[in-house]
Chains A and B, each alone.
Chain A
Amino acid sequence: QQQVKQSPQSLIVQKGGISIINCAYENTAFDYFPWYQQFPGKGPALLIAIRPDVSEKKEGRFTISFNKSAKQFSLHIMDSQPGDSATYFCAAGYSGGGADGLTFGKGTHLIIQP
């Protein structure tokens, strides 16, 4: 199983600050890099995703930065809000819907302090 390494494991950010979560992957054949957000008692849900033909994708306060040569990608949450408190998973896979789905990082527990 190809690994996706995610850091940090936990993160505390003040309201209004920038939250940054980093991931690194090994398999250069991966061409789909999503981030999932999970609230307590719920299943993970897709937050934002990027493909390697672009270096950055922004949706509202959430931005993915992608560095293909370094095999790294990161999630930035601007103006972090208490409602952003959740567990975030990065993942890597294939845009055609790879045979074995997605390979997930171990997750980051994000707490936004009011």
Chain B
Amino acid sequence: DADVTQTPRNRITKTGKRIMLECSQTKGHDRMYWYRQDPGLGLRLIYYSFDVKDINKGEISDGYSVSRQAQAKFSLSLESAIPNQTALYFCATSDTTGISTGELFFGEGSRLTVL
């Protein structure tokens, strides 16, 4: 099983619908992130969380919200999806305890299409 699991892997929805992308991890890491990938734009940070009680906005948080339900779970919501939110979304984790390398561990991605 993957260490960082994202669901759903693919989703097609319509403008105005509410969408939730879920991420769970078995790595025991404290930090979790949501990135968005668009062709030619690379990976851009949406939100990140240090722990259950700490949520922070990233570079492109407008139109998105998150919830850290537990140390292992971090979900991304689009309250009212719009077509320019069509993208590939990645959840990632990192460990800042013990010997930290700064390395991010990514899930396999959730492809979202908003019609």
Contact = CB atoms under 8 A, between A and B. Distances in A.
Given A43-B107, A100-B45, A100-B58, A95 B40 contact: no
A41 B108 contact: yes
Nearest to B58: A100
B40 A43 contact: no
Given A6-B42, A32-B102, A106-B42, A97 B108 contact: no
A33 to B, nearest CB: 10
A3 B73 CA distance: 29
Interface in B47-99: 48, 50, 56, 58-59, 90, 92, 94-96
Contacts of A43: 4, 90, 92, 106-109
Contact of A44 (B45, B56, B94, B106): B106
A69 B13 CA distance: 48
Contacts of B44: 104
B103 interface: yes
Nearest to B95: A97
B41 interface: yes
Given A106-B41, A106-B42, A96 B102 contact: yes
Contacts of A94: 102
A106 B40 contact: yes
Contact of A34 (B31, B102, B107): B102
A104 B100 CA distance: 19
A104 B58 CA distance: 13
A97 B59 contact: no
A6 B100 CA distance: 26
